[in-house]
Amino acid sequence: MSFDWSTRYRTGETPWEKGEPHPELPFLLVEHRGLIEEAGSILVPGCGFGHDAHLIHATAKGRLIGLDLAQEAIDQAEARYSGEGLSWGVGDLFEWQGSYELVFEHTCFCAIPVGRRADYVAKMAELIPKGGHLLGIFFLNPDHEGEEGPPFGVTAAELSEFFGRDFELIWSKPPSKTYEGREGEGRERSMLWQRRR
């Protein structure tokens, strides 16, 4: 199934867009501060309006790029957030090139077509050098009512199956804070993966 993200942004049908960073992100920035500060280059794929990317950039010392397929999302990110070392890109993550010591993702893996999950992990393994990290707040169970994704549900076991091919799980924890309306046990999980050496 393909999904027209640009149309959703144009029509404002964007239930994932909350107008602020994920409430758990400040905790992750403290918990993984060293990692974020040490990363010379950070990629935030599927960044939407850039709230998370902008907050991470405030802690990071290296350069950070927020990437999204939808020009409409990046227009909003550019209008809201700027700073030295912070940039925005429009593009398909599957075609993206570069080397990033840290990738942060939030509701990106669950937004791509289910059949491309292995491709997603392979792409991350290409973009992240050995020893580099992928930190994510993964949406496990979108719990839609009468609606098919995205986001598409995924279990923690499936995440381990896919990411485990190229990454080692370093840390994992259910978020202690989330957006209003996204509460509920087992709906999200924060995970830190390290690219196998």
List interacting residues with ligand SAM (CB under 6 A): 5, 16-17, 45-48, 67-70, 73, 92-94, 106-108, 111-112, 151
Instruction: Select from 129, 136, 141 the least CA-distant residue to 182.
Output: 141
CA distances for 90 relative to 13, 46, 68, 111, 157, angstroms:
20, 10, 5, 16, 31
The span from the first CA to the last CA of the chain, in angstroms, equals 34
- Quote the least distance from Cβ 16 to ligand SAM, whole Å: 4
Amino acid at 25: L
Residue (56 or 108) nearer to ligand SAM, CB: 108
C-alpha span between 44 and 46 (Å, rounded): 7
Beta strands in the chain (DSSP E): 41-45, 63-68, 86-90, 102-106, 133-139, 167-173, 188-195
Q: Closer CB to ligand SAM, residue 13 or residue 34?
A: 13
- Smallest separation, CB 91 to ligand SAM (Å): 7
Which CB atom, from 68 or from 101, has the smaller least distance to ligand SAM? 68
Cis omega (within 30 of 0) for bond into 15: no
* Between 68 and 188, CB nearer to ligand SAM: 68
Minimum distance, C-beta of residue 158 to ligand SAM, in the bound complex (Å): 18
Residue number, 46 or 132, with CB nearest to ligand SAM: 46
Least distance (Å) between residue 90 CB and ligand SAM: 9
Q: Smallest gap, in angstroms, from Cβ of residue 6 to ligand SAM? A: 7
